């Protein structure tokens, strides 16, 4: 609820936005940003390792198409599945997602690919909020270039060169 009000207020004051909150639909505010010519960068996950996990999972899916996602977060996280898990599942063609909420966790996701006689697991673990800082800084840099290109709504860093990781695939999750 607060994210929509905050983004709306920022856009009303001609302030470009970077959002890393999941569990809301940014499309209506994307339209408002587009009308004003302001960038609204909605990022599924600011952790660069998570961006790589999604990119590697998209590559693995070309060879092992049967996959499922397990995502684990602290018990205070309100949305389940996380935005990162939803975005990863979408990029993999709608694979099933299993969500866990327990105390002591920060943010963890694994993508399991099953094949005849084998299992491939691609996993990302964020043990502290520090994992997100480099991605936030990169997103803020991209915000300026997004404005110059008049890109009003970006669905995630993975579609915009993976937060600086050239050629990355699709993506989101957040906090």
Positions marked active-site: 73, 77
CB 108 within 8 A of CB 123: yes
36 sits in the region (left: phi over 0; alpha: psi -120 to 50; else beta) called alpha
Torsion over CA: 147, 150, 152, 157 (sign) = negative
How far, in Å, CA of 140 to CA of 168, rounded?
A: 18
How far, in Å, CA of 160 to CA of 157, rounded?
A: 5
Q: Strands of 17-19's sheet, edge to edge? A: 17-19, 40-42, 153-154
């Amino acid at each position: 609820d607060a994210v929509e009000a905050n983004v709306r207020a920022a856009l009303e004051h001609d302030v470009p936005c970077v959002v890393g909150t999941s569990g809301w639909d940014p499309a209506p505010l994307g339209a408002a940003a587009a009308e004003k010519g302001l960038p609204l960068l909605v990022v599924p996950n600011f952790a660069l390792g998570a961006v790589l996990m999604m990119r590697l999972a998209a590559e693995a899916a070309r060879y092992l198409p049967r996959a499922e996602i397990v995502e684990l977060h602290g018990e205070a996280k309100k949305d389940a599945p996380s935005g990162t898990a939803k975005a990863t599942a979408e990029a993999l063609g709608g694979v099933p997602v299993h969500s866990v909420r327990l105390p002591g966790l920060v943010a963890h996701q694994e993508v399991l690919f099953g094949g005849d006689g084998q299992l491939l697991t691609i996993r990302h673990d964020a043990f502290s909020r520090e994992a997100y800082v480099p991605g936030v800084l990169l997103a803020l840099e991209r915000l300026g270039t997004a404005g110059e290109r008049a890109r009003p709504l970006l669905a995630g860093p993975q579609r915009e060169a993976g937060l600086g990781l050239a050629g990355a695939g699709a993506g989101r999750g957040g906090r």
